Every structure is written in C-alpha cells, then in structure tokens.
Amino acid sequence: MPKYVRSLLALATVSLCGGAVPAQAALKVLATTPDWAALVTELGGDKLNVYTATSAFQDVHRVDAKPSLVARARSADLVVATGADLEIGWMPVLLQDSGNTRIQPGSPGYFEAAPLVHLLEVPSAVDRSMGDIHPLGNPHVTLDPHNIATIAKALTARLVLIDSAAAAYYAARGEDFQKRWQQATVGWEAKAAPLRGVGVVVIHRDQAYLCNWLGLKELASIEPKPGVPPSAGYLAELVTKLAATPPKMILRNAYNDPRAAEWLSQRVHTPVVLLPYSVGGTPEARDLFGLFDDTINRLLAALK
Amino acid sequence: MAKLRSIAGAIVFLSLWLSNPGHAATDDLAALRAELEALKSDYTSRVQALEARIKQLESAVATAQLAAAPAPPVPPAYPQPAPVAAPGKSSNATAFNPAISMILTGNYASLSQDPATYRVAGFIPPPSGEGPGNRSFNLDESELTVASNIDPYFFGNVTAAIQGDNSIDIEEAYFKTLALNNGFTIKGGRFFSATGYLNEIHSHNWDFVDQPLVYQVFLGGQLAQDGAQIRWLAPTDYFIELGAEAGSGRSFPGTQRNSNSLASDALFAHLGGDVGDSTSWRLGVSWLDIRSTDRTYHDVDQSGTPVTNAFTGTSRTWIADGTLKWAPHGDPTHHQFKLQGEYMQRTERGQLAFDLAGRNLAGDYNSSQSGWYLQAVYEFVQRWRAGLRYDSMQSGTPGIGLVQAGLLPFAAFPSLASASPERTTIMVDWSLSEFSRLRAQYAWDDARATERDRQLLLQYIFAMGAHGAHKF
C-alpha cells in the first residue's frame, strides 16, 4: 500500500473515531448569539457543549455562512436561534448543508426564541422601500428580562425533551434560574425607575425592547430606515428636530459604528452611551445577569 | 408515594393506639404524643415536598411536548397597543407559496475591440461564455429563482435565466435531500458543479462583472451538470467536505452524446475553518473527467478560409482553489477583505477533425494547458468595495496528429498557436442596500494574440423578493 494511501486511511480513521459520539457525551448546542449561548449554559450547565456562532461585535443579520459554522451545524444536537428572520442570510445554508436531520426546522433540535414572545413593531404592510424591515416583527428580543424568562422556560422544556435522561437536572436548573432571574428583574426594575420617560436616540431599531421595558422614550433613530445608513442630509434634519426635544442620551451598541452617533452627540450636546447589547459586548457583561446589570448601570451613569 | 402515605398513616394509627391504654402516666403520654405528632408532621411535609417535585417534573415534560409543537403565542409581559395586523386564521391557499426572487442585471459596455473577434488565444474556444459581451447598453440575464422545501425529505430549487436575447436558460433545477443523516446530502437534476470555488456561485454574487478567463476557457463560464451529486460532511470541528458527481456531460467541455453512459465525473474535497474571530478560509481541490463527441468550433485555415473543426475525446481538469475572508471581529458591515484564487490544469486527449464540411481530415490530439486567477476585494467604507483581479493562461503547444503526419501545416490551426493570454481588471462597486449594487469595472484584456482590448463595463444588479441566503 502506498504511503500516502495509508496516511489517508489513518486520517479517515482518526476523524471517524474522533467524531463518534459516546452515549454520555455532552449535548452539542449551536447558539446563534452570545445571549442564547449564555442562556442555554445557565439552563444546561455542564451537560452541554455550547458553540457560539457570533460575537457581540457582529451584526447577527450580516454573518457569512462560514465553513466553520457549517461544520458545527453538522454535529449539533440543538440549534438555538433568534428566528423572526434575523439569521435568514446564513442559517438556511447551515441547515441545508449540515446533513443533520436533528436540527431541521420542526425537529426538537431546532429552537427559535422570538416566536415565543410578543414581538414589537410587527409591520402591517411590508415593502423593501421601508428598509430592511422584518415582516414578523422586531427580532431583537433579548433586552427585556421578561422575554428571557419566557424563552428560558421553553428552552428548559426543550432540553428536557431532547435529553430526557437528565430531565431532573434541567428542571432543577431551570427552576433555580427562574428564581434568580425573577429576583434580579425586580431589582433591575426598581433600580431603573429613574429612567422612565427619559428621551433617547437609538442607532438601529435593536433597542426597542429595552426602551419598551424601561419606559425610555425613543425620540429618533440614527438610521432613517432599518439597515439604511444615514445620509448627511438626514443627520442635519435630525439635529434640527432634536433641538426642539433634546434627548438625554444617544444609545450605541458595542457592534455599531461609533461615528454617526459621535457626530450627532457633538451637535446636540448629548452623551453617547455605549451599551453591551449582547453578552460579551463590554467586559462587565460576562453573562446574562451582567448584561442587564451593566446596561442599567451605564444608563443610570449617563443620567447623572 | 402511596407507600409513604401508608407509613405516615400507620404512624398516626400507632400513636392513637398507644394513646389509648390507661396504664401510662398522663405526663409520659403527653410527651409521647407530642413526639409522635412531630414525627407525623415531618413525614407529611416530606411527602408533600416529594409530591410537589413530581408535579413539577410532569409539567416540565408537558411543556417540553408543547414547545416541540409550534409555540403558542405568549401574552405580553407589559401593556401593548392593539396588534396592527391580526394573523389570518382562515384557510389560505397561498400559505405554502415557495420563496421567489428575481434578479435584474444589465450593463453598459465600452470596448476598444470588436467583441465578435474576441478569442482567448491558444485554446479551443467554448461554444459560449467567452468574452465581455456586446457593446453599449445590454440587458443581462434576469434570474428567476423559486425555492422551497418540498416535504420533510427534499428541498427544491429552480433558477431560470431569462437572457437579454429573449431566450431562457435553466441554470439550475435540482432537488436536494434534507433527511439523510450523518452529514450526507444528495442533489439531483441540473446544478452548478461544486468543483472549484466560483463555479457554484450565481452571477449576481460575483465580485466582477465577468468570470475569470480560466473559467471562460475551461468551463465555458460555469459548469452545470445534469446528473447527481453526493456530499459528505465530516463530523469534525474543522470543515471537511468530500463529494462526487456524475453527469451526462452535456455542458462544455463535454457535449450531448448519444450514449447511455455517464460522461462527466467529478470529485471534490473542501477544507475550511477560522483563524481568530476575524478570519475564515476555505481550500478546495477538485478533479473533473468529461468526455465529448464532436465538440465543434469555428476557426480559419492557413489561407484564412473559415472551417469547422471538432474534438472528440476526454478532458481532465484539476482545480485547486482558496478563499480567505477577513472582517474586523467577523462583522462585514463596514470593512471586509476577500482574497480568492484558483488554478486549473487541463489535459485533453482524443481526436481532432479538421474542416468537417470540406476536407474532413482527422488525427490524434493532445494538449496540456493551465490557467489561474487571483483576486482581492476590499470594502473600504460601508457599502463601497474596490477589487483587483489578475488572470493568466498558458496554452502550450498541443500535439496535433495531422500536423505531425505532415498532412497539414500548424498554421492550419491558428486558434491553437501557443499563447499566454492575460488580463488585469479593476472594479469599484456601491451597494445602497443588501439588495442593490452598482458597479464600474475596467479591464486591460490581452486575451487576443494581437491587440489589447480596453473594456469599461458599468453594471447594475438588483434583487427583488425573497431574501436569499448565500454560501461562503
């Protein structure tokens, strides 16, 4: 046997054996965002092996169906996605090329978070002239802790369904998370009370749930239409408009381009508040609790 | 649980029975009673705790089953304005309409040479797919795609290109399996071959207006197979994909043949991964074996008289491809860099017939030819990209039996005279949104053996309808 054939065979054997999943192996989870990765880790602990497809510095809507992601989809037991078309540019490729029936839509291994909660900004009519709008509603659902609680409940149930051998473990962890989350939510809501009615400017429509939850008033959006970067003319108009009703702060996510927000900040003499938006967006937002702690701390700091 | 209840009951009974006999001292009796009462309440609380736990697990399983079905709408956690559009509940025949998208493309071309004389020197020309197209305004293809899951087992996709000359090409019409496991996918019908990198990519996603020369000359633009493809994805963290195709060979470099055999075989392997959070890459190697019968092409003989010649034989092509994408933190919104290159080496062996309509001579033919391109595209500010591409081809000198036997001079095959065509292309494009793109491209094209062609192309690409997902 030629040497290279032998080494190819050896490689094939190694890759096959390396890929064979022992019965007690951790459940492989592919989470589309760091938030879902953090949530599923809270709920599944060390029973899970979680891979995050994106980071807090990526716009989840504009991700490539990278080879590495297709490879992760191939072996995943569970995909945790936002849904509502947020991942529409890449998730279909991953699902189709994965050769993995466990994670096809409709299977227990495919979990979408957004359909579980009440979506804001569901358009009555859609047309691309309105920018990159989502026909099913605003998919950026994470920044309302009530949504997280609802999604966590369904995700616990899904873990129980997929890995019923560890049902009691997931049930106990789920219960514990709900308890801690509810306590934390009460704390955040009390702490954030001064933010109610405060006028803010956002960049994209991805702070809608945060504003809705805390009662922040969205006075304007730096993107004239979703996904459409502002023109100089539009920004000038915005300055005039905001002179009449000055905002208290301009919200910017970790992944946003800072330039437009900073330009506006100088013109309307309003601070830009950098928010983590996702777990990992700031050093403090290490997990979901940190994400909300830090978001509220930063908003309150800007209010002073 | 029943057992625990009866134990608790027995304890209660025992305590009552023990309390009955009158010989015990009243104090002792009271103490004993208190003790038993404590024991009883302890058991009761333990039983209650266990009951609660079981209920909780039961409800978790029930929710799990619910969640597996389409999720019921959850009432809002905060006051909401009345929903703008209530979801329709009545039966709806259009609910299962497939995803439909239409791509509009067109260009304006200013070419310094007559496009009718375009030929990549040194190579047997493909029947179509070569050159920059016509001068002035041109309607390029309008590409209609209809795609949908067919059932739980298959996905279907049809892409028809309505050409500017009012003809319709079925670019792709394939089914793809969804229900094979273990990383296997089978595709059947007509599909762009997965050999090379650019071959599978539809024209509206190209980074330049036209294909690299090596694609134009070796594959007639793009190789579509009528046949079947199987792919296997390895269960590894690296992307390792192996695949094979078998087809009829109807598209160039093959021809439609009157034969039951498969005439187009392909093997390919892809490897890919990430470097840090900003860079991702893919490498591929492919092998194509295609047979053709009477693949005709037009040429002139040594005295300038038009002739039609034909090749019959086997065309074997090796392709190596590499693609690298970089974006800060992997977010291509503002900046992205893409480097891509492919090398092809082709060997053709068989018979070459000369002047089919007249002298009709035939003899052996063999050639070994290669070509490559390297291109880089950079998004320098949001929505604006610039690109540079270099093409190079090496034709070598083919072995022509008719020439070696002294029946014809080499000059009778002017298209096959050794040449090293090359081309340099620059490009700028502007995407106002994900769905529209305007592009300007300028090329110094030395494909012809004689004159340089200076090509200016202005192009528009508009996408309507369903939001497509794109491969890497």
Cβ(B400)–Cβ(B352) under 8 Å?
yes
Judged by CB atoms closer than 8 Å, whether chains meet at B77 and A146 is answered as yes
Distance CA A219, CA A209 (A): 15
How confident is the model over B104-111, as a mean pLDDT? 97
Statement: residue B92 has pLDDT above 90: no
- The minimum CA-CA distance between B465 and chain A, rounded to whole Å, is 9
- Do A157 and A50 share a structural domain? yes
Nearest CA in chain B to A112: B71
Domain assignment present for residue A202? The answer is yes
Establish, for the pair of chains A and B, how many residue pairs have beta carbons separated by less than 8 Å. 205
Judged by CB atoms closer than 8 Å, whether chains meet at A68 and B234 is answered as no
Among the candidates A170, A186, A202, a domain finishes at: A186
Statement: residue B72 has pLDDT above 60: no
Which residue in the set A115, A175, A212 is minimally distant from B71, CB to CB? A115
Statement: residue B86 has pLDDT above 50: no
Judged by CB atoms closer than 8 Å, whether chains meet at B66 and A157 is answered as yes
- Do A59 and A140 share a structural domain? yes
pLDDT confidence of residue B71: 44
Domain assignment present for residue A211? The answer is yes
Which residue in the set B179, B185, B240 is minimally distant from A97, CB to CB? B185
Higher pLDDT, A23 or B195: B195
Residues whose CB is less than 8 angstroms from the CB of residue B10 and which lie 6 or more positions away in sequence, other chains included: none
pLDDT confidence of residue B253: 93
- Do A234 and A146 share a structural domain? no
Instruction: Show the tokens assigned to B158.
Output: 């049809």
Residue B260: C-alpha distances to residues B225, B249, B316, B391 (Å) = 16, 11, 20, 38
Residue A276: C-alpha distances to residues A80, A229, A299, B20, B410 (Å) = 21, 21, 11, 72, 71
pLDDT confidence of residue A127: 86
Residues of B in contact with A91 (CB under 8 A): 469
Which residue in the set A72, A99, A124 is minimally distant from B182, CB to CB? A99
Residues of A in contact with B178 (CB under 8 A): 96, 101, 104
Residues whose CB is less than 8 angstroms from the CB of residue B92 and which lie 6 or more positions away in sequence, other chains included: none
Statement: residue B312 has pLDDT above 50: yes
Nearest residue to B113 (alpha-carbon basis) of B138, B140, B132, B130: B132
- Do A149 and A245 share a structural domain? no
Of A69-73, A124-128, B236-240, B436-440, where does mean pLDDT reach its minimum?
A124-128
How confident is the model over B284-299, as a mean pLDDT? 96
Strand partners, B429: B385, B439
- The minimum CA-CA distance between A44 and chain B, rounded to whole Å, is 14
Residues B151-209 pLDDT 10s: 989 999 999 999 999 999 999 999 999 999 899 999 999 999 999 999 999 999 999 99
Statement: residue B257 has pLDDT above 80: yes
Domain assignment present for residue A44? The answer is yes
- The minimum CA-CA distance between B201 and chain A, rounded to whole Å, is 13
Judged by CB atoms closer than 8 Å, whether chains meet at B234 and A15 is answered as yes
List the single best residue of A15, A58, A104 to mutate versus B (max B Cβ within 10 A). Answer: A58
Element (H, E) at B317: strand B306-326
Domain assignment present for residue A242? The answer is yes
pLDDT confidence of residue A43: 97
- Do A243 and A128 share a structural domain? no
Instruction: Show the tokens assigned to B213.
Output: 């020369």
The pLDDT-based confidence of A21 (bands split at 50, 70, 90) is: very low
Judged by CB atoms closer than 8 Å, whether chains meet at B65 and A161 is answered as yes
pLDDT confidence of residue A17: 41
Residues whose CB is less than 8 angstroms from the CB of residue B255 and which lie 6 or more positions away in sequence, other chains included: B249, B292, B293, B294, B295
Nearest CA in chain A to B176: A96
Among the candidates A151, A186, A221, a domain finishes at: A186
- Do A119 and A228 share a structural domain? no
pLDDT confidence of residue B55: 59
Judged by CB atoms closer than 8 Å, whether chains meet at A97 and B152 is answered as no
- Do A236 and A197 share a structural domain? yes
Distance CA B459, CA B457 (A): 6
Q: How many CA atoms lie within 13 A of B328 on its CB side?
A: 12
Statement: residue B7 has pLDDT above 60: no
Which residue in the set B70, B181, B382 is minimally distant from A101, CB to CB? B181
- Do A200 and A104 share a structural domain? no
Cβ(B462)–Cβ(B436) under 8 Å?
yes
β-strands A78-81, A27-31 pairing: parallel
Residues A61-80 pLDDT 10s: 889 999 999 999 999 999 99
Residues of B in contact with A100 (CB under 8 A): 181, 183
Judged by CB atoms closer than 8 Å, whether chains meet at B273 and A71 is answered as yes
- Do A134 and A31 share a structural domain? yes
Statement: residue B30 has pLDDT above 70: no
Domain assignment present for residue A214? The answer is yes
pLDDT confidence of residue A225: 86
Residues of B in contact with A20 (CB under 8 A): 235
Percent of chain A with pLDDT over 90: 74
- Do A204 and A99 share a structural domain? no
- What does pLDDT average to over chain B? 86
Domain assignment present for residue A10? The answer is no
Q: What angle do CA A43, A142, A112 make, to 5 degrees?
A: 65
Q: B113 phi and psi, to 5 degrees?
A: -115, 155
- Do A179 and A73 share a structural domain? yes
Cβ(B305)–Cβ(B273) under 8 Å?
no
Residues of B in contact with A96 (CB under 8 A): 155, 176, 178, 185
Distance CA A50, CA A41 (A): 7
Distance CA B98, CA B155 (A): 11
Among the candidates A186, A204, A233, a domain finishes at: A186
The pLDDT-based confidence of B24 (bands split at 50, 70, 90) is: very low
How many domains is chain A built from?
A: 2
List the single best residue of A17, A55, A66 to mutate versus B (max B Cβ within 10 A). Answer: A66
Query: Whole domain around residue A215: which residue ranges?
Result: 192-303
DSSP string, B35-92: HHHHHHHHHHHHHHHHHHHHHHHHHHHHHHHHHHSPPPPPPPSS--PPPSSPPP-S--
Element (H, E) at A80: strand A78-81
ipTM above 0.90 for this complex: no
Higher pLDDT, B126 or B55: B126
pLDDT confidence of residue A228: 83
Domain assignment present for residue A20? The answer is no
Residues B56-66 pLDDT 10s: 655 555 555 44
Nearest CA in chain B to A65: B472
The pLDDT-based confidence of B81 (bands split at 50, 70, 90) is: very low
**Torsion angle defined by CA atoms of residues A42, A46, A51 and A55, in that order, rounded to the nearest 10 degrees:** 40
pLDDT confidence of residue A138: 92
- Do A164 and A286 share a structural domain? no
Residues B363-379 pLDDT 10s: 999 999 999 999 999 99
Statement: residue B44 has pLDDT above 50: yes
pLDDT confidence of residue B15: 44
Of A157-166, A244-253, B52-61, B253-262, where does mean pLDDT reach its minimum?
B52-61
Nearest residue to A43 (alpha-carbon basis) of A202, A159, A206: A159
Statement: residue A158 has pLDDT above 90: yes
Residues B434-463 pLDDT 10s: 899 999 999 999 999 889 999 999 999 999
Distance CA B82, CA B331 (A): 36
- The minimum CA-CA distance between A89 and chain B, rounded to whole Å, is 4
pLDDT confidence of residue A3: 52
Residues of A in contact with B281 (CB under 8 A): 67
Instruction: Show the tokens assigned to A145.
Output: 């802790």
Judged by CB atoms closer than 8 Å, whether chains meet at A161 and B329 is answered as no
Q: A12 phi and psi, to 5 degrees?
A: -60, -45
Which residue in the set B176, B273, B281 is minimally distant from A96, CB to CB? B176
Cβ(A81)–Cβ(A111) under 8 Å?
yes
Judged by CB atoms closer than 8 Å, whether chains meet at B472 and A66 is answered as yes
The pLDDT-based confidence of A200 (bands split at 50, 70, 90) is: very high
Judged by CB atoms closer than 8 Å, whether chains meet at B434 and A96 is answered as no
Question: What amino acid is encoded at A77 in this protein?
Answer: D
Domain assignment present for residue A15? The answer is no
Residues of B in contact with A152 (CB under 8 A): none
Nearest residue to B239 (alpha-carbon basis) of A32, A66, A103, A102: A66
Distance CA A61, CA B177 (A): 26
Residue A58: alpha-carbon gap to chain centroid: 10
Any idea what the CATH number is for the domain that residue A299 is in? 3.40.50.1980
